[in-house]
Structure 1
């Protein structure tokens, strides 16, 4: 039951992030945040494989966002560093540590302003 609740919360979070992105036309940043949120949720549940998949998707979109928005490079570079760490930890099966790095990546994506 707890897993189902967590999945519902993660899905709602992803929907909220996606809805906000459409409203602000954020493009790759919103996709990066959506996948980062999914990665974090899976990491917290101990699903390293799923956390890894979403972290990799988030990383790809974060790199695209960085390239699209030169002024936000600093924050997107930091987000990319944390997503790289999230991927490393997820590959080692460390879901909780992966989730911590993903949370930091989300923070920097938000601060990028895009």
Structure 2
């Protein structure tokens, strides 16, 4: 009986302690998606400077999300590659191309399961 009680308490404690990690991980992903969406919108409007700023912010959060949750590396790596391309194109003044890469980044962030 004592072993069962110990296992229940340990399991509950592990669950409560992992909740902040999952919440912060989801926070990075949602922040990355929000900024990628803004980068896409600004790119479509031809605002390369604003698109660049949001793509860089999205990239920082995407990297943090990837580092926080190893299981979703593949999709977050893809998202990061697209965000880097979005930054490159926005920096060259190619808003529409930057928007396409921001959109692809958001697709991979959604698929990452965060």
TM-score, with length taken from structure 2 = 0.78
Q: Deviations over 1:49-105 (max 9, x none)?
A: 000000000000000000001000000000000000000000000000000000000
Aligned counterpart, 1:4 = none
**Which runs of structure 2 are paired with 1:52-91 in the superposition (5 Å)?**
52-91=52-91
CA RMSD of aligned residues (A): 1.0
| Off by >6 Å, runs of 4+ in structure 1 | none
Whole-angstrom distance in 1 between the partners of 2:83 and 2:37? 11
Whole-angstrom distance in 1 between the partners of 2:35 and 2:56? 8
TM-score, with length taken from structure 1 = 0.78
Aligned counterpart, 2:40 = 40
- Unmatched tracts of structure 2, length 5 or more: 1-21
- Unmatched tracts of structure 1, length 5 or more: 1-23
Aligned counterpart, 1:108 = 108
Aligned counterpart, 2:50 = 50
Whole-angstrom distance in 2 between the partners of 1:92 and 1:69? 32
